[in-house]
Amino acid sequence: MDKIIVEGGRTLKGEVRISGAKNAALPILIASLLTDGINTFSNVPQLQDIHSTALLLENLGARVETRAGTVRIDAGGPIQYEAEYDLVRKMRASVLVLGPLVARLGKARVSLPGGCAIGARPINLHLKGLAALGASIELTHGYVEASAPRLKGADIYFDVVTVTGTENLMMAASLAQGTTVLRNAACEPEIVALADTLIKMGADIQGAGTSVVTINGVSSLKAVEATIIPDRIEAGTFLMAAVLTKGNITLFNTEPDHLGALIDKLRLTGAEIDIDGNNIHIKNSGPINSVDIKTQPYPGFPTDMQAQFMVLMSIANGTSMISETIFENRFIHVSELRRMGADIQVSGNSAIVKGVPHLSAAQVMATDLRASASLILAGLVAEGTTQVNRVYHLDRGYESLEKKFAALGAAIQRVK
Closest contact distance (angstroms) between CB of 232 and ligand EPU is: 11
Beta-carbon contacts of residue 361 (< 8 Å; ≥ 6 apart): 6, 7, 8, 340, 379, 382, 383, 384, 385, 386
In the complex with ligand EPU, which residue's Cβ is closer, 139 or 276? 139
Closest contact distance (angstroms) between CB of 62 and ligand EPU is: 19
Q: Which of residues 182-201 bind ligand EPU (CB under 6 A)?
A: 190
Site string for ligand EPU, 37-76 (x = CB under 6 A): ----------------------------------------
In the complex with ligand EPU, which residue's Cβ is closer, 74 or 145? 145
In the complex with ligand EPU, which residue's Cβ is closer, 28 or 101? 28
Q: Which of residues 79-98 bind ligand EPU (CB under 6 A)?
A: 92-93
393 is a site residue for ligand EPU (CB under 6 A):
no
Q: Which of residues 250-309 bind ligand EPU (CB under 6 A)?
A: 303-304
162 is a site residue for ligand EPU (CB under 6 A):
yes
d(CA 54, CA 396): 13
23 is a site residue for ligand EPU (CB under 6 A):
yes
Burial degree of 372 (CB within 10 A; 0-12, 13-18, 19+) = buried
Closest contact distance (angstroms) between CB of 261 and ligand EPU is: 12
Q: Which of 5, 55, 116, 407 is catalytic?
A: 116
Q: Which of 26, 50, 151, 311 is in the footprint of ligand EPU by CB under 6 A?
A: 26
Q: Which of 71, 73, 125, 312 is in the footprint of ligand EPU by CB under 6 A?
A: 125
SS3 assignment, position 187: coil
126 is a site residue for ligand EPU (CB under 6 A):
yes
SS3 assignment, position 354: strand
Q: Is 116 a catalytic residue?
A: yes
End-to-end CA distance of the chain: 7
- Alpha-carbon separation of residue 311 from 167, 261, 333, 405, 413 (angstroms): 31, 17, 9, 17, 20
The half-sphere exposure of 40 on its side-chain side, counting CA atoms within 13 A, is 4
146 is a site residue for ligand EPU (CB under 6 A):
no
d(CA 299, CA 138): 35
The DSSP call for residue 20 is B
139 is a site residue for ligand EPU (CB under 6 A):
no
The half-sphere exposure of 347 on its side-chain side, counting CA atoms within 13 A, is 4
Q: Which of 3, 51, 121, 152 is in the footprint of ligand EPU by CB under 6 A?
A: 121
Q: Which of 160, 220, 278, 285 is in the footprint of ligand EPU by CB under 6 A?
A: 160
d(CA 96, CA 172): 10
d(CA 174, CA 56): 22
Beta strand 13-17 with 248-252 is parallel
Piece of the chain touching ligand EPU by CB under 6 A; list 163-171, 213-221, 272-280, 358-366: 163-171
In the complex with ligand EPU, which residue's Cβ is closer, 247 or 331? 331
Beta strand 221-222 with 35-36 is parallel
104 is a site residue for ligand EPU (CB under 6 A):
no
Are the C-beta atoms of residues 300 and 329 closer than 8 Å to each other?
A: no
Closest contact distance (angstroms) between CB of 330 and ligand EPU is: 8
User: Which residues participate in catalysis according to the annotation?
Assistant: 116
Using CB under 6 A as the criterion, which residues of the chain lie in contact with ligand EPU when the complex forms? Answer: 23, 26, 92-93, 119, 121-126, 160, 162-165, 190, 303-304, 326-327, 369-370, 397
